[in-house]
Amino acid sequence: MTTEDSGDFTDTSSTSSDSGTDSSSDTSDDTGDSGDSEDTSDETGGDETGDTGGPIPDACEVVDLGGNEGVTTEIVLMSQWDTGACHEIYVTNQTRDDVIWTRDLRFGGTVDNYWNAEGEQLNSTDWRFGGQPSADNIVVLSGKTVVFGSCMVCAP
């Protein structure tokens, strides 16, 4: 499902953009010798324990850990109750090219379900989402927005 961002949303938990810059420190010295340090990061940008770094959300909140360069997200709270919450995530392609998107999110609780996306659990709080063939949202066209959602049981 592809939609244009209508700007009708007033309850925004967070909005972020992936700048594409690497903020990790380089352990090599000026001679090019990297020493005995070992890179323990995996393809998720985390270490071998599955920790992807980044901000820790409050209970029932969702934070964006990044994804494709030039793609932004808007996380909108749909509903919240004593023990859970649901959010819609708007993924907008701000590049000139069509993008096969992925987005990493951290949840302040346990993901109970999600829709209009394929999800992969990276660790107890972090998930990677991407487009779903049946939702026709694998590719985000230039300047367009796709939407997916998730619900969680909030952390105590």
User: Is 27 within the bounds of a domain?
Assistant: no
Q: How many domains are contained in the chain?
A: 1
CB 15 within 8 Å of CB 72? yes
User: How far apart are alpha carbons 80 and 128 in whole angstroms?
Assistant: 22
Residues with Cβ < 8 Å from 155, sequence gap 6 or more? 59, 60, 108, 109, 110
User: Is 56 within the bounds of a domain?
Assistant: yes
Q: Over its length of 156 residues, how does the chain's per-residue pLDDT go in tens digits?
A: 433 333 333 333 444 444 443 333 333 334 344 343 333 333 334 444 445 678 999 999 999 999 999 999 999 999 999 999 999 999 999 999 999 999 999 999 999 999 999 999 999 999 999 999 999 999 999 999 999 999 999 999
**Sign of the alpha-carbon torsion through 16, 84, 45, 29:** positive
User: Is 3 within the bounds of a domain?
Assistant: no
User: Is 79 within the bounds of a domain?
Assistant: yes
Please give the residue range of the domain that contains residue 57.
Answer: 11-18+52-154
* pTM for this entry: 0.69
User: Is 24 within the bounds of a domain?
Assistant: no
State the CATH number of the domain containing residue 111: 2.60.40.290
Beta bridge partners of 153: 84, 110
User: Is 117 within the bounds of a domain?
Assistant: yes
CB 87 within 8 Å of CB 150? yes
